[in-house]
Chain A
């Protein structure tokens, strides 16, 4: 009968109980919304970083990471290529990379030049899909150049503008060549757009190379590998390291610690939001339950007078609080789950903040996502919150002296 008594006590003051239930439901909804939003943002950052910038695995000459010198070229390319060709669903791009200057008649800027083979680069980072003007390289023409829209604005360049690239050749002599802008892209990632330009690999190698062709001089500085998922990444990384033991084979977590940080934050962010919201809820529930106890002092005194022991009185108050949470929690989880599901499907358009988001490499549509374990976290934290919040009112109840309590009017 204690559960029945507790249940009926909950509904003695329906408005008050409904307010607490709604507060719990809204708290959970807010926690799930925040968690979905934060996870979605982090996931968007990670996905963008992998698909547009760093891929899953990159291979470099060990010295290249320290000093991006044209001399530090990759070895064992054939063995690497054989391994990669054997991985289903893997895309890769062999890049020639050089740091240099780009100059227009208006201004000049320091940039990283990526010499690419258009087809393979497109399959790795989809840069061809991010063209907003011009073409993703035309056919049969030398010295074609892709620049970002931001760079075009800064240089005062447009399609067909001729820009001069200056960089060191393999003898570390300064060399320069004029390139014509054939396409303008917008990767939605300002730091990338401000620092990268694309040229065709053959053009860049021709300008870098000063000596006779030599198998030791591949002019490939970077291999970027995109996989269908991160699951097979570490196995492939190991395999590549075996065939190219002198080279530096890194996965995206090693290349970009910020991405790893975001990944590890995903797990803890929902917990942080939950803890903050539950802390606020604890006080709301304590307040309500304290009111429920204080207005029933006489009745609680009577219950103890007729033989209800302190443990049972304590349990009854705790149970009343748990019941309130048991109604509020599923409601909040349902609302939160639906919200996350809907925004996960259709996305939350944040294009109003597009420029700020792009500064950090974030896309302007966020797709919410919540890991399944978050539902478990919510259930456990609500139960803990209810129990913690009920302790003080329940202690207050059992500290009542029946004779004094009965006398209260």
Chain B
């Protein structure tokens, strides 16, 4: 089943002054359960593509259909609600809420979804266990290592039961061991629970473990390899 479909996506920054063509007609289709790496040199448009797919940025032209909904026409508030229900985000700098514990960070998204307390707590613990950090559930981000914070971020991304998880360079700030650990977790969630992951990366270790690698060059898809 197709969860993401883009048609002729273009994104131009500073169109009136010094135009920068970040995306030049990207057509991409991602099916449920895929484990896809978006790769390419710096400035190739990886982050822009993820932002546009995630409804964080709007394309200048083209269409983004997520789970049968064309998000190009949604208002800002509709987009916020859409992201809350359909998309999980993992950021390069973890971006956890510093004043909440690991468990509260994971439960926070479910709170926004108005889930009841018992369900929030049970699922938060379940997800923290899935990413192997349940014993640190009462720690705040500042008390966790980078790898541990990113695992909490993955758990948070999954909390809302999204259609897919977008991860922008999730391992960029991690050491080798933490990178391997995070990849193991993501792959296991992908294989065992069928969670769709799309992530941008430069990291060859991550690219090597991706099942599909989409290479962007100058805002266009240069290659799309299924493994």
Which residues from chain A sit less than 8 Å from chain B, CB to CB?
1, 5, 8-9, 11-12, 298-299, 302-310, 312, 402-403, 406
> Tally of A-B residue pairs with Cβ under 8 A?
62
Cross-chain contact B80 with A1 (CB below 8 angstroms) = no
Bound-state Cα–Cα, A304 to B93, Å: 16
Closest approach, in angstroms, between the C-beta of B142 and any C-beta of chain A? Answer: 11
Q: What chain A residues lie within 8 Å of B212 (beta carbons)?
A: none
A310 and B80 in contact (CB under 8 A), knowing A1-B104, A1-B111, A403-B57? Answer: yes
Bound-state Cα–Cα, A406 to B166, Å: 14
Which residue from B56, B81, B85, B111 sits with its C-beta under 8 Å from A305?
B56
Most chain B Cβ neighbours within 10 Å, of A5, A306, A308: A306
Cross-chain contact B111 with A304 (CB below 8 angstroms) = no
Q: Which B68-124 residues have a C-beta within 8 angstroms of A?
A: 76-77, 80-81, 83-85, 89, 91, 93, 95, 97-100, 104, 107-109, 111-113
Bound-state Cα–Cα, A382 to B156, Å: 38
Residue in A closest to B166 when the chains form the complex, CB atoms: A305
Tell me the dominant secondary structure on chain A's binding face. helix
Q: What chain B residues lie within 8 Å of A305 (beta carbons)?
A: 54, 56, 83, 89
Bound-state Cα–Cα, A304 to B79, Å: 10
B179 within 8 A of A: no
Known A-B contacts: A307-B160, A310-B77. Give 4 more (CB < 8 A): A11-B99, A302-B91, A309-B81, A406-B95
Closest approach, in angstroms, between the C-beta of A383 and any C-beta of chain B? Answer: 24
Closest approach, in angstroms, between the C-beta of B177 and any C-beta of chain A? Answer: 26
Which residues from chain B sit less than 8 Å from chain A, CB to CB?
51, 54, 56-57, 76-77, 80-81, 83-85, 89, 91, 93, 95, 97-100, 104, 107-109, 111-113, 156, 160
Which residue from A299, A306, A310 sits with its C-beta under 8 Å from B156?
A306
Bound-state Cα–Cα, A236 to B171, Å: 89
Bound-state Cα–Cα, A349 to B172, Å: 70
Which residue from A11, A308, A403 sits with its C-beta under 8 Å from B112?
A308
Q: What chain A residues lie within 8 Å of B93 (beta carbons)?
A: 298
Q: List 16 A-B contacts (CB under 8 A).
A: A1-B104, A5-B97, A12-B99, A298-B93, A299-B97, A299-B98, A302-B95, A302-B97, A306-B84, A307-B80, A307-B109, A307-B113, A309-B77, A310-B76, A312-B112, A403-B56
Q: What chain A residues lie within 8 Å of B51 (beta carbons)?
A: 403
Q: What chain A residues lie within 8 Å of B56 (beta carbons)?
A: 305, 402-403, 406
Cross-chain contact B81 with A307 (CB below 8 angstroms) = yes
Most chain A Cβ neighbours within 10 Å, of B54, B80, B93: B80
Q: What chain A residues lie within 8 Å of B156 (beta carbons)?
A: 306
Most chain A Cβ neighbours within 10 Å, of B93, B97, B160: B97
Bound-state Cα–Cα, A303 to B112, Å: 10
Residue in A closest to B112 when the chains form the complex, CB atoms: A307
Closest 7 CB pairs of A and B: A307-B84, A8-B99, A403-B56, A302-B95, A403-B57, A307-B112, A309-B80
Bound-state Cα–Cα, A302 to B99, Å: 14
Cross-chain contact A306 with B99 (CB below 8 angstroms) = no
Bound-state Cα–Cα, A302 to B98, Å: 12
Closest approach, in angstroms, between the C-beta of A316 and any C-beta of chain B? Answer: 11
Bound-state Cα–Cα, A306 to B89, Å: 7
Q: What chain B residues lie within 8 Å of A9 (beta carbons)?
A: 99
Bound-state Cα–Cα, A5 to B97, Å: 9
Closest approach, in angstroms, between the C-beta of A6 and any C-beta of chain B? Answer: 9
Closest approach, in angstroms, between the C-beta of B67 and any C-beta of chain A? Answer: 15
Bound-state Cα–Cα, A343 to B156, Å: 58
Bound-state Cα–Cα, A298 to B91, Å: 11
Cross-chain contact A306 with B112 (CB below 8 angstroms) = yes
Closest approach, in angstroms, between the C-beta of A403 and any C-beta of chain B? Answer: 4
Cross-chain contact A306 with B109 (CB below 8 angstroms) = yes
